[in-house]
């Protein structure tokens, strides 16, 4: 009995994935648990293991974007005949039977092999280049300037329906190609480069557009970093063997301690409810060459700064190498975004939904400040907290941010 391999849902909110390449060829023997193909989801690229043993009889989708649940391959016995059905419709459903009937009528004289059939089902475009789309989907696409060729159809036979176009519109799928970054100043003007959005960029666009809908407010505070820098220096000396703790690690730890005292900030806004989480799972925004990821350090309130540093170093390393697992990205309750290393003194971060707050961290700069009536030079750092006002009120955010400042200025208070 052949097993259909379907595109798995690797995390909440995953609707589709892009098959990068197959690690096995048709006809290869496959053991259950062996890496079978590489999958690019909106968050990570990872190897997916075979969930059956046997022979890889058929690769139905060689590469490209596929919705979750679609059959992408078949594993079975050597010599077994394979038919890849369009699994998404119930077998024997009237619509399915009718489609088959039409198909037979249309191509009575030509027989198709399975791969052709699959191609036809996967792609809304039929052989003659015509895109299968409902009249309503076409009208919406026309009105919003969306190229239907860029839209994955989820209707019967892969037809693009209105909902697909609406979704594409919401994720900011471009009608016109995206312009590449400006060419280097030394280069003579060149042709416009066209970069199709990767699934990661689409996700960034979709999630940040969504985040932009939230009614947010910002709170700013300036922290004297004198004591924190001393503590950090001492920690580096004590952790000569492990990952070197950074100011960010220290900030992660004190934020976790402050979140535990202000649980309303350690919250997810879920439309009809606010979830207050018992543990501070802090996401660290990491810039990577083709985008941005936010791996999560779980349970920061229970970890030492050295443990946080080790976890952070591991995650950042994996993120830059494109080796993050889905689990590395799930479960965040709060996010810290630090652009201090680029010399940015202050900025406003965009919410990371459904999280209720995100902390933007600026650079630590020597600044003249008045202390006890005297102007002295102190290391100062600006923090800006963005709060979802649907979940957090001003005073709550202010008390939290005040504690973060207090813990950085007097680390003993966090104990």
Active site residues: 389
Between 17 and 332, whose beta carbon lies closer to another protein? 17
Q: Which range touches another protein (CB under 8 A), out of 57-65, 75-83, 93-101, 190-198?
A: 93-101
3-state DSSP call for residue 344?
coil
DSSP characters over 116-167: HHHHHHH-SB-TTS-B-B-HHHHHHHHHHT--GGGS---SGGG-B-HHHHHH
**Residue whose token pair is 């650079």:** 363
How many whole angstroms separate alpha carbon 38 and alpha carbon 40?
Answer: 7
Site for another protein in 395-414 (CB under 8 A): none
Single out the residue of 92, 94, 185, 289 in contact with another protein (rule: CB under 8 A).
94
Q: Is the peptide bond before 167 cis (omega within 30 degrees of 0)?
A: no
Binding flags for another protein, 21-60, as an x/- string (CB under 8 A): ----------------------------------------
Single out the residue of 20, 62, 68, 197 in contact with another protein (rule: CB under 8 A).
68
Please report whether residue 88 would count as binding another protein according to CB under 8 A: yes
Please report whether residue 154 would count as binding another protein according to CB under 8 A: yes
User: Residue 74, by phi and psi: left (phi above 0), alpha (psi -120 to 50) or beta?
Assistant: beta
Nearest CA to 353 out of 168, 214, 197 is that of 214
Total number of residues that touch another protein (CB under 8 A): 27
Crossing angle (nearest 10°) for helices 162-170 and 135-144:
20
Q: Which range touches another protein (CB under 8 A), out of 160-168, 201-209, 218-226, 311-319?
A: 160-168
Output the smallest distance, CB 37 to another protein, in A.
20
On whether the CB atoms of residues 146 and 173 are closer than 8 A, the answer is yes
Between 117 and 298, whose beta carbon lies closer to another protein? 117
Please report whether residue 67 would count as binding another protein according to CB under 8 A: yes
Q: Which range touches another protein (CB under 8 A), out of 90-98, 228-236, 343-351, 399-407?
A: 90-98
Tokens of 127: 């052989």
Single out the residue of 31, 53, 95, 193 in contact with another protein (rule: CB under 8 A).
95
On whether the CB atoms of residues 35 and 94 are closer than 8 A, the answer is no
Please report whether residue 337 would count as binding another protein according to CB under 8 A: no
Residues that bind another protein (CB under 8 A): 15, 67-70, 86, 88-89, 93-95, 134-139, 152-158, 161-163
């Amino acid at each position: 009995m052949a097993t259909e391999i379907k595109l798995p849902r690797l995390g909440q909110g995953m609707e589709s994935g892009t098959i990068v390449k197959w690690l096995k060829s048709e006809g290869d023997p496959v053991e259950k648990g062996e890496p079978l193909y590489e999958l690019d989801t909106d968050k990570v690229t990872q190897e997916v293991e075979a969930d059956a043993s046997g022979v890889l009889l058929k690769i139905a989708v060689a590469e490209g974007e596929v919705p979750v649940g679609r059959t992408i391959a078949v594993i079975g016995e050597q010599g077994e005949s394979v038919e890849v059905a369009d699994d998404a419709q119930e077998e024997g459903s009237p619509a399915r039977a009718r489609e088959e009937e039409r198909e037979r009528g249309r191509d009575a004289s030509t027989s198709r092999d399975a791969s052709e059939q699959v191609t036809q089902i996967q792609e809304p475009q039929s052989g003659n280049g015509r895109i299968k789309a409902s009249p309503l989907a076409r009208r919406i696409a026309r009105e919003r300037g969306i190229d239907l060729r860029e839209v994955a159809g989820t209707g019967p036979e892969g037809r693009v329906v209105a909902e697909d176009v609406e979704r594409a519109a919401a994720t900011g799928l471009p009608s016109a190609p995206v312009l590449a970054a400006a060419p280097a100043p030394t280069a003579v003007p060149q042709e416009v480069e066209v970069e199709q959005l990767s699934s990661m960029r689409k996700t960034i666009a979709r999630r940040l557009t969504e985040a932009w809908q939230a009614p947010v407010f910002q709170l700013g505070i300036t922290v004297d970093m004198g004591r924190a820098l001393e503590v950090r220096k001492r920690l580096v000396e004590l952790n000569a063997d492990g990952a070197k703790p950074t100011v960010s690690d220290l900030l992660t730890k004190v934020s976790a301690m402050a979140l535990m005292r202000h649980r309303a900030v350690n919250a997810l806004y879920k439309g009809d409810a606010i979830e207050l989480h018992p543990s501070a799972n802090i996401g660290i925004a990491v810039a990577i060459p083709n985008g941005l990821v936010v791996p999560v350090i779980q349970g920061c309130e229970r970890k030492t700064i050295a443990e946080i540093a080790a976890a952070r170093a591991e995650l950042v390393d994996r993120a830059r190498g494109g080796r993050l697992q889905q689990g590395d990205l799930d479960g965040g309750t709060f996010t810290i975004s630090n652009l201090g290393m680029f010399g940015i003194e202050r900025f406003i971060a965009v919410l990371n939904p459904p999280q209720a707050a995100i902390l933007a961290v600026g650079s630590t700069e020597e600044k003249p400040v008045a202390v006890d009536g005297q102007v002295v030079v102190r290391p100062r750092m600006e923090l800006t907290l963005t709060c979802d006002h649907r979940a957090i009120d001003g005073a709550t955010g202010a008390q939290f941010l005040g504690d973060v400042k207090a813990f950085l200025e007097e680390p003993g208070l966090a104990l």
